[in-house]
């Protein structure tokens, strides 16, 4: 049966490290897992990843012993249900701006009577009902184990952060620096004092409510050093992202082009 070990680690207060991916290449997930990362965040909001590809990616992640979070493209029941049925440990819900948004996100992940998620028995999250598991047991394990991560990426969300974090079932939040900087009217200015103050405000509220925060380290640690990351961990950044696989491939290509290829052509 599915273990939902990521939620256990979050509840134990551990600092967890992961990467994101937005290309449908299962082998990349095996590499991330074998390298020792705790989790991978699969982005289906800004990617071409199909449900079939997503299913294969989940298998590769599990094979390498790594947990998975899927960012769905909208706070919509069908998208959430399918992401969970293919076997993800949880979902990241974009644009959670109000208490009502957060409550809907939690409800979409929970099977009745706790929520509105539809039941499917022959799915990976239920081991395709082999061996057979009672509906009550599957419902209990899923409702207790699934993770809900609310993405905070607009001024409205920052203004309502306390109410969002008070919603039972919100396990963590993901900071969306790019969209947040756009919402603040300072696009891409991640060291702007206003941006830094906003991030600190969210971290402060989250820490008081004991809700872990997820973010890509390079957006909030300037520069990205062990010392700066330790400071952020003390502030509540307990789900650390170290870039994306596709971004790493891009950077290798650019570095090779700049440092070698253009000098030998």
Q: Report how far Cα 15 is from the mean position of its chain's Cα atoms.
A: 14
Which residues have CB under 8 Å from 190's CB, separation 6+? Answer: 177, 181, 219, 220, 222
Task: Give me the residues paired with residue 241 across strands.
Answer: 18, 216
User: Mind giving me the DSSP string for 70-117?
Assistant: EE-SSS-HHHHHHHHHTT-SEEEES---SHHHHHHHHHHHS-TTSS-P
Three-point CA angle 46, 47, 50, nearest 5°:
130
Q: Coil, strand, or helix at residue 223?
A: coil
| CA dist., res. 251 & res. 253, Å (int) | 5
* 222 tagged catalytic: no
Helices (H) and strands (E) in the chain, counts: 14, 8
From the list 11, 46, 197, 208, the catalytic residue is 46
Q: Which residues are catalytic?
A: 46
């Amino acid at each position: 049966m599915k273990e939902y070990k990521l939620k256990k680690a979050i509840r134990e207060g551990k600092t967890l490290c992961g990467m994101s991916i937005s290309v449908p290449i299962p082998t990349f997930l095996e590499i991330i897992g074998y390298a020792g990362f705790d989790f991978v965040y699969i982005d289906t909001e800004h990617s071409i990843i199909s449900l079939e590809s997503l299913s294969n990616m989940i298998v590769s992640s599990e094979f390498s012993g790594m947990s998975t979070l899927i960012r769905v493209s909208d706070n919509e029941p069908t998208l959430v249900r399918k992401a969970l049925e293919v076997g993800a440990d949880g979902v990241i819900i974009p644009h959670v701006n109000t208490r009502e948004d957060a409550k809907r996100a939690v409800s979409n992940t929970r099977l009745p009577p706790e929520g509105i998620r539809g039941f499917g028995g022959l799915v990976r999250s239920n081991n395709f009902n082999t061996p057979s598991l009672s509906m009550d047991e599957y419902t209990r394990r899923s409702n207790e184990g699934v993770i809900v991560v609310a993405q905070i990426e607009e001024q409205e969300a920052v203004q309502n952060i306390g109410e969002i974090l008070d919603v039972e079932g919100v396990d963590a939040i993901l900071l969306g620096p790019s969209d947040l900087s756009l919402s603040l009217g300072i696009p891409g200015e991640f060291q702007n004092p206003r941006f830094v103050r906003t991030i600190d405000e969210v971290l402060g509220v989250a820490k008081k409510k004991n809700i872990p925060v997820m973010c890509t380290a390079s957006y909030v640690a300037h520069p990205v050093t062990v010392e700066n990351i330790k400071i952020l961990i003390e502030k509540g950044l307990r789900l650390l992202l170290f870039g994306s696989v596709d971004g790493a491939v891009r950077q290798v290509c650019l570095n090779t082009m700049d440092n070698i290829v253009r000098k030998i052509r």
